[in-house]
A and B are shown apart, each in its own frame.
Chain A
């Protein structure tokens, strides 16, 4: 059974709804360990004190806050516990907002958590969920996670609610240094129509199940082959068929059509087909472009790749 990573209560007004939090996502990449190349044993990261010039156990470390260059104040567990925050064991709802995608500040998300109501608060939990869903609202709230107060959004999700932690405004970088000339761009109606058609042609229902991490699967296949004692071979790359091949195929199609025509003519008249068509098409262009104005370009016979 999944292990909850936080236990507390949703609070707004006089309502308290006990809930547990579970991580909603996990890292999907393939993890590697660093080994010593000569013996293939895992290396260890030692905690080193340059002042004493010795490796120290992690238990001898404390947390320090650098309040000035090179100057630290030690912050203990007691200090953290003494912080007068209402949100230490609470998801404190500050306000409700419209749940649109462009709600200011809610785009910069950190981590998603599933909520599970404690039995005693299940009814209130689903009452809040149904109201948020029907009114298309998000709850903006605060919660303390990992010793930090976090801004978060609470939204109905499937049979539960999803708590999404957000970046604080001072953690969001400014766009001032980017070149964003939106005001200077003129868009013609025809351009917009073309873009709209393009968007319409690519519009569909998104389902994350339709997508897979192809790189991870391919890398895992390589690893499995190595574990089985096989030497992975470089993937043979298909020789790309280029656009000159397309032209060659077209020329072949023209030649086939011409041959068929000639055969039909010969069968119809009892005489061999005349070559006037081909000879006229093969006429070479003159060197002087101006002089060629009265002449047609030759039939193209470019080489194929």
Chain B
């Protein structure tokens, strides 16, 4: 499922808003209590580069036969997102930062295909089966309050939010209105600089007359 580009943050109770995490989108396959595949967007299996997730993710799941849709991230020593560390991780440097997986959606659960169900149900299922761990969490999200989340993320230094229709089904390819990537506009300048220079024009002769 691929998002469409949004224009600006908005409020709509039909949408669930969450950060657009600056990572690499990935599908995580968990079967027989093992993380068997970690398919990163546009790349081969990232399981080797993010091997720590194989130690934690299956243990935090209350279900089996699960496919999660989320983001692979790399954190620096201060716990902040670092795209350079992520690139190094994906290039095979397992010492680069600490890995993280933020789950946003659930595609399979209990060995059943959840593609056809609405996002609200998939998301509720995701929250029910994945317990937060040190490296794997469900993404923080707000229903309906896109502008509020955008304000919060602007302080957070992130550049976009994800807006998903709660009634949308998981679609392969373009998601249409079901999923938008909405850029966060720069903060408004409340006090504009004032024009301080007033040029005095020479008076016409007739005026001086």
Q: Do A and B come from one complex?
A: yes
Contact B121 A243 (CB under 8 A): no
- Shortest Cβ gap from B117 to chain A (Å): 7
Q: Which residue of A lies closest to B127 (CB)?
A: A297
Which residues from A are CB-within-8-Å of B80?
246
Interface residues on B, range: 35 or more
Return the contact of B148 from the options A254, A286, A303 (Cβ within 8 A). Answer: A254
Q: Which residue of A lies closest to B141 (CB)?
A: A300
A52: CB under 8 A from chain B? no
Contact B152 A198 (CB under 8 A): no
Contact B124 A292 (CB under 8 A): yes
Contact B152 A250 (CB under 8 A): yes
A246 to B135, CA, bound (A): 10
Given contacts A190-B42, A191-B43, A254-B148, whether A242 and B138 have CB atoms under 8 Å apart is no
Contact A292 B121 (CB under 8 A): yes
Contact A289 B43 (CB under 8 A): no
Main secondary structure of the interface of B (DSSP, over half): mixed
B6: CB under 8 A from chain A? no
- B16, B73, B121, B167: which has the most chain A beta carbons within 10 Å? B121
- Shortest Cβ gap from B169 to chain A (Å): 10
Return the contact of A194 from the options B16, B43, B117, B127 (Cβ within 8 A). Answer: B43
Which residues from B are CB-within-8-Å of A256?
152, 155
Contact A289 B124 (CB under 8 A): yes
Return the contact of B143 from the options A238, A299, A302 (Cβ within 8 A). Answer: A299
Q: Which residue of A lies closest to B131 (CB)?
A: A302
Which residues from B are CB-within-8-Å of A299?
141-143
A149: CB under 8 A from chain B? no
Q: Which residue of A lies closest to B11 (CB)?
A: A277
Given contacts A244-B132, A247-B132, A296-B13, whether A198 and B137 have CB atoms under 8 Å apart is no
Interface residues on A, range: 35 or more
Interface 1/0s, chain A 216-260, versus B by CB < 8 A? 000000000000000000000010111111110111011011101
A281 to B13, CA, bound (A): 10
Interface 1/0s, chain B 9-53, versus A by CB < 8 A? 000010010010000000000000000000001111000000000
Provide 17 A-B residue pairs closer than 8 Å at the C-beta atoms, listed in order of the A residue.
A202-B87, A202-B88, A202-B91, A243-B73, A244-B137, A246-B75, A246-B80, A250-B153, A254-B148, A261-B148, A277-B148, A281-B144, A293-B120, A296-B143, A297-B124, A300-B141, A305-B134
Interface residue ranges, A against B (CB under 8 Å): 190-191, 193-195, 198, 201-202, 238, 240-247, 249-251, 253-254, 256-258, 260-261, 277, 280-281, 285-286, 289-290, 292-300, 302-303, 305
Interface residue ranges, B against A (CB under 8 Å): 13, 16, 19, 41-44, 73, 75, 77-81, 87-88, 90-91, 98, 100-102, 117-118, 120-121, 123-125, 127-128, 132-145, 148-149, 151-153, 155-156, 166-167
